[in-house]
């Protein structure tokens, strides 16, 4: 059983999608150890789609599946705000979430230089 994952970032300060933000996906073990699974970059529409993840080539292909368990998405917001000459309060955003079935998981991020919000999207 495995799920799929996408994300979307909206810059609520500028009122538009946040493009070119690096995103990493980690699997978190029962002991709390995080293992890198994949990297992505938001496209011009601020999205990382299920088929755009670049999985770590050093891991077994069987690990590419998002099985039931705990994961994190880390967004490199510092580089994004530096490119806009803005001082960001949060240099990165880490979203810790659970996959509980083989459905599709969409994790949106609403972002500004001084705050953020997230939820489980559809």
Measured distance CA(8)–CA(6) in Å, rounded: 7
Question: What pLDDT is attached to residue 63?
Answer: 59
DSSP state of 103: S
pLDDT at 64 over 70: no
Q: What is the pLDDT of residues 71-95, one digit of tens each?
A: 999 999 999 999 999 999 999 999 9
pTM above 0.95, yes or no: no
**Within 13 Å and on the Cβ side, how many CA atoms surround 36?**
11
Longest Cα separation, the chain: 44
């Amino acid at each position: 059983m495995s799920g799929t994952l996408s994300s979307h970032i909206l810059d609520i300060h500028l009122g538009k999608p946040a493009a070119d933000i690096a995103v990493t996906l980690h699997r978190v073990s029962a002991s709390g150890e995080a293992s890198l699974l994949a990297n992505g970059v938001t496209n011009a529409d601020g999205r990382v789609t299920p088929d755009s993840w670049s999985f770590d080539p050093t891991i077994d292909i069987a690990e590419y599946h998002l099985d039931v368990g705990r994961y994190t998405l880390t967004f490199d917001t510092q580089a994004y705000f530096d490119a806009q000459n803005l001082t960001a309060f949060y240099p990165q955003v880490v979203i810790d979430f659970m996959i509980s079935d083989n459905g599709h998981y969409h994790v949106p991020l609403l972002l500004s230089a001084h705050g953020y919000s997230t939820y489980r999207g559809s």
